[in-house]
Amino acid sequence: MQAPGQPPVWQNDPWRGARAKAEGAFSSFRNGTRGLLLPLFTWPLLIDVVVEVVRGNTRGLVAAGLGILLPILAVRVLRRGRRGDTRRAAVLVAVATGLVAMMGAQTGVPIALLLAAGAWLGTRLMYDGAQVEVEPPAPPAPPRPPGPLDEARIRLARISAEPRMAGIAQAMDAVLDDLDARPDRLPLARRFLTVHLDGLDRIAQRLSAGAEPPTSLPQLLTDMETAAEDLRAKLRAEESVALDIQVKVLSDRLRQEGYA
């Protein structure tokens, strides 16, 4: 048994090392050329395309074109390496073979079906198990629905862009931080946020448009900062009340159970 940290055994054996490298190179070559034999089998149809064009045989030309294009599509499917791609590629080759036999060579339906079945079986025998097929990648997760405070954050970012409203923007940002920590308190502050953010957003838009601020604006912003601090104090008081209730309930429970 090889001890951890030791180099692979084949590194001490040049023949085994050369064999491992050759197998790795062959595996890479096989994966890189996977499916390329399928279009090579259709090379006589290239000559048939020219013949059918000269003869003006539309049906034969369509059959030859499908006989060339469908195997190329099969190669593309085969090289994806997803689960079931070998089966899909075999179906495409079988359809191409059947169409060429029935429409181009006019062999009749039974012979065309027999040839299609042979093409399907040959493709499966050639490529089944030649490469490990994987499940297709999962579809991307849908975008997260906007949270209750996302719109408020966007509006507050517009308000913060106005330097004269930096103070109230910081106060409102602190309110949003508190609500992020305890989203169950959001109903207590929803009306507050709506009224304040609506008003501040409109004021910020007017100021950014070049409006001269009235003399009463600084006092209004100060009052709104005070209201934001009062709301935070109210939210903290609600938390304190909830904590007192929990402590009382737990104390009563411990006394009832005889642990206190």
Average pLDDT over the chain, rounded to whole? Answer: 79
Q: Tens digits of per-residue pLDDT, 40-65?
A: 777 777 787 888 788 887 888 888 88
Q: How far is residue 207's CA from residue 201's CA, in Å, rounded to a whole number?
A: 10
Asked whether the predicted pLDDT for residue 190 surpasses 80, the reply is yes
Task: Provide the pLDDT for residue 245.
Answer: 83
Q: What is the mean pLDDT of residues 152-175?
A: 87
Is pTM beyond 0.75? Reply is: no
47 in Cβ contact with 58 (< 8 Å): no
Domains of the chain, by residue range, sit at 9-127, 150-257
Residue 23 CB partners (closer than 8 Å, separation 6+) = none
At 75, the amino acid letter reads: V
Longest dimension (CA), the chain: 105
48 in Cβ contact with 64 (< 8 Å): yes
Instruction: Record the tokens describing residue 80, joined without a space.
Output: 């994806």
DSSP conformation letters of 54-102: HHT-HHHHHHHHHHHHHHHHHHHHHHH-BTTHHHHHHHHHHHHHHHIII
Q: Tens digits of per-residue pLDDT, 214-238?
A: 888 889 888 888 988 888 888 888 7
Asked whether the predicted pLDDT for residue 26 surpasses 60, the reply is no
Instruction: Record the tokens describing residue 116, joined without a space.
Output: 């299609």
Q: How many residues does the chain have?
A: 260
Q: How far is residue 139's CA from residue 136's CA, in Å, rounded to a whole number?
A: 9
Q: What is the mean pLDDT of residues 97-108?
A: 83
What sign does the CA torsion over 184, 190, 192, 198 have? Answer: positive
Minimal CA–CA distance to 172: which of 218, 217, 232, 216?
A: 232
Instruction: Record the tokens describing residue 128, joined without a space.
Output: 């089944």
Task: Provide the pLDDT for residue 149.
Answer: 80
